[in-house]
Every structure is written in C-alpha cells, then in structure tokens.
C-alpha cells in the first residue's frame, strides 16, 4: 500500500481534545460548550478526557503550552545581537504565526474573558506563565520586582495586540505589526522608568531592610533573656 493510501495516524487524546475544543470555540459561545461535546468531536471517551484534562480550562492550558513549545522549539540565535525590543517582537510574531489556525476559537475565548471576571483572572495567570517563557526566549530578564512588572505589562500588551490581530486579515498583518511596535515601545519606556526608580530607591530599601533585621534581632535577644529568666525562676520586670 502506498503512503497516499494509508490513513493518517490517529492523534494522541490530548492533541485531539485540544483541537476539538478550539474548533468548537470557533462555532459557539464558551458557556455553551460541554465536556461531552469536546469528547465527541475529539473521538475520545469521557474516561480518556478525564485522564488527559480535568476541565475545559485545563484544555486551554494545554493549548497554551502547545503554542509555547512551537515557539520555543523554533528559536535560534539569529537576533541575539539585536535590541531587546526587536528580539521580543520576533518571538511574539512567531507566537501569532503559531496561533493563526485557531484565530476564531481564540476570539471567542477573549470574549468569554470579558464576560467572566474569574475567567479573566485564570487566563491572566495562564498568559503570565507563557509570557515568562517568551521573555526568556527573547533573552530578557523576568526575575525580581521589575521582572514581575515586565511580565504583567507584557500580558496587558499582548491582550491589546490580540484585539488588533483578530480583525487583521491582511497577509502582511500591517495593523498587527504597528500595534506590536507601539505597545512594545510604550512598555519599554515604562520598564525603563521602573528600573530607574528601583535603582534610586535602593538605599531606602537597604535601610528598611537593616531596620527590620535590627528589630528582629532585638526581639530575639529579648525572648532569649526571658527564656533564661524563666529557667532560673527570675521574673521579667514589668515596664511602667
């Protein structure tokens, strides 16, 4: 039998479930999608679904990790010498390319997040996890207080970029690239301000840390004296 006559290899249950959810999300509201709907579209049993994912939201997490992997597997050092903004723009455009087949399903997910605050919070955490790796792929530090600001700022910027991307059907994606450039430029300025503020407040933070340590040390010594007096039967004098 020739290769063309052979049937395609079946998808792994996890992949089939992810694809099924994104297909159905392109057709109807998120709230109207049941786990049974997804399982039937994916050709898996409810037992297989449960083995793969505990909920619809978890399937979205699996989709996000799939996109992360596609982007990270494709990364190289081609832009290593470029400015941070250019490196990050390249990473995010790769991410959009990887998501292009699922645009309509993702549009409904975004609408769902606007309707449901709890969903928005969960999706924000999911995006934070993904954007942490996107920053790493762009060789941008995401640790510490400034790193946390970069992460959350990038998630907000990504939301704005997606809002443009959903309706940007032009092959060159000019509107999306313009929004990407605008948001990354604004974000870079804000991060710069935050880094300057962090450096300027370093002496104050050091002083505050020293005062906290001194207070803990004083409290520890006082507890030790009280413990010693208790063991010898002496009473702690009462301060009036």
Question: What ranges do the domains of the chain cover?
Answer: 64-200, 203-234
Q: What is the pLDDT of residue 28?
A: 96
pLDDT of residue 233: 55
- Which residues in the chain come in under a pLDDT of 70? 1-9, 188-240
- Residue that has been written with the tokens 């993904």 in this structure: 130
Q: What is the pLDDT of residue 194?
A: 47
In b/e form, how buried is each residue of 47-79, taking b as 16+ CB within 10 angstroms?
ebbeebbeebeebbbbbbebbbeebeeebeeeb
Residue 142: its pLDDT value, please? 85
pLDDT at 17: 98
DSSP codes, 184-216: HHHHHHHHHHHHHHHHHTHHHHHHHHHHHHHHH
Query: Among 176, 28, 60, 70, which Cα is nearest to 124's?
Result: 60
Question: How many CB atoms sit inside 10 A of residue 190's CB?
Answer: 13
Task: Characterize 141-156 residue by residue with b for buried, 16 or more Cβ atoms within 10 angstroms of its Cβ, and e for exposed.
Answer: ebeeebeebbbebbbe
Query: With contact defined as beta carbons under 8 Å apart, do 147 and 138 qualify?
Result: no
What is the distance between the alpha carbons of residues 84 and 152, in angstroms, rounded to a whole number? 17
Helices (H), 117-173: 117-137, 144-165
> What pLDDT, on the 0 to 100 scale, is given for residue 239?
41
What's the half-sphere exposure (Cβ side, CA atoms, 13 Å) at 115?
9
pLDDT at 230: 57
**Residues 224, 236 contacting (CB under 8 angstroms):** no
pLDDT for 179 equals 94
Is 104 within 8 Å of 26 (Cβ atoms)? yes
């Amino acid at each position: 039998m020739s290769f063309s006559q052979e049937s395609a290899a079946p998808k792994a249950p996890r992949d089939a479930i992810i694809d099924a959810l994104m297909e159905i999300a392109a057709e109807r509201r998120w709230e109207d999608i049941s786990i049974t709907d997804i399982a039937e579209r994916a050709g898996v049993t409810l037992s297989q679904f449960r083995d793969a994912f505990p909920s619809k939201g978890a399937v979205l997490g699996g989709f996000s990790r799939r996109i992360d992997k596609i982007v990270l597997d494709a990364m190289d050092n081609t832009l290593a010498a470029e400015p941070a903004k250019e490196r990050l723009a390249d990473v995010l455009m790769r991410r959009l390319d990887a998501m292009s087949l699922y645009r309509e399903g993702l549009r409904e997910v975004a609408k769902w997040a606007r309707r449901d605050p709890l969903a928005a919070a969960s999706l924000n955490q999911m995006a934070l996890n993904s954007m942490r790796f996107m920053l790493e792929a762009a060789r941008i530090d995401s640790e510490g207080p400034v790193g946390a600001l970069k992460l959350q700022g990038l998630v907000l910027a990504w939301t704005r970029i997606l809002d443009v991307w959903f309706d940007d059907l032009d092959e060159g994606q000019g509107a999306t690239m313009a929004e990407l450039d605008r948001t990354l430029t604004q974000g870079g300025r804000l991060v710069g301000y935050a880094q300057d503020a962090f450096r300027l407040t370093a002496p104050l933070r050091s002083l505050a840390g020293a005062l906290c340590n001194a207070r803990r040390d004083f409290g520890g010594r006082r507890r030790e004296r009280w413990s010693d007096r208790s063991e010898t039967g002496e009473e702690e004098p009462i301060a009036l």
